[in-house]
Structure 1
Amino acid sequence: MAYWLMKSEPDEFSVSDLQRLGNARWDGVRNYQARNFLREMAVGDEFFFYHSSCPEPGIAGIGKISRAAYPDPTALDPQSHYHDPKANADKNPWSAIDVAFVEYFGKVLSLGYLKQQAALEQLPLVQKGSRLSVMPVTAEQWTAILALR
């Protein structure tokens, strides 16, 4: 099993939304490196659900991959914020996955707090200039973050 961190703005889709739905599509990723990470994910992999672009950015819970990567339908939908006019049914460069709720943390593990943890200094999230919405997490980093809950 692999571990990941995936970011979402809570005003758009939060860990509470995933908890309420139980299962949902994770779409709208429009960065090729992040998309490639989506394509590496396997059913059963777990991820930290990170709330970004909000008053308290940080890890708010855990989800798991419930369906491996498939073509992102939002790229083809002209009404979608994530529409890609260059994409078509035969050539859609973007991927989506389905995710399931696992756990909601009682408190958000803030980015500032995560940056203070020596065990996380190599985590891409805490490194300067890292802005990817999807990134791998090592087993050691996963364990270290779990211990902070």
Structure 2
Amino acid sequence: FFYHSNCKVPGIVGMMEVVRESYPDFTAFDPSSKYFDVKSDSDNPRWVMVDIRFIERFEETIALSDLRHYPELEGMTLLRKGNRLSITPVSEEHWNFIGQLAHAQNA
């Protein structure tokens, strides 16, 4: 899923798929990049990235506050206290349930 966190209503806004596992973020090694990190180097990278594929944009955001009310999503990494948003795993059960929520909003 694609998640917006730095906004008025944090939540899931669409579907995506990771198509390449994590690898060193080369922008951290480039002094001309705004993401340059002097403490990161190719032998000991501090930052990694993944490649993704767009699947679908939801018509409505599925708000984080709403997600917390569904017992079907118990144990989801995104909903754990103290979780840092990044790339997090999603079980097939949770994936299917959220997909159903998104499509029910569009009906």
- Aligned equivalents of 1:129, 1:92: Cα separation in 2: 24
- 1:68 maps to which residue? 21
- 1:131 maps to which residue? 84
Residue 93 of structure 1: CA displacement? Answer: 3.6
Paired positions, count: 102
Matched, 1:120 2:69: no
CA RMSD of aligned residues (A): 1.6
Q: Where does structure 1 lack aligned partners over 5 or more consecutive residues?
A: 1-47
SS for the counterpart of 1:62 is strand
- Aligned equivalents of 2:42, 2:15: Cα separation in 1: 32
- 2:5 maps to which residue? 52
Measured at CA, do residues 117 and 82 of structure 1 come closer, stay the same or move farther in structure 2, by a change above 3 Å? same
SS for the counterpart of 1:148 is helix
Residue 120 of structure 1: CA displacement? Answer: 0.8
Q: Normalising by structure 1, report the TM-score.
A: 0.62
Identity of aligned residues (%): 43
Q: Normalising by structure 2, report the TM-score.
A: 0.83
- 2:48 maps to which residue? 95
Q: Deviations over 1:41-84 (max 9, x none)?
A: xxxxxxx0001111111000011223333221111122434322
- Aligned equivalents of 2:43, 2:84: Cα separation in 1: 30
Residue 117 of structure 1: CA displacement? Answer: 0.6
Q: Deviations over 1:123-145 (max 9, x none)?
A: 12122221232211111111111
Aligned pairs (5 A) from 1:69-88: 69-88=22-41
SS for the counterpart of 2:61 is strand
Structure with the bigger RCO (C-alpha within 8 Å, sep 6+) is: 1
Please tell me the residue identity of whatever aligns with 2:71: A
Measured at CA, do residues 128 and 70 of structure 1 come closer, stay the same or move farther in structure 2, by a change above 3 Å? closer
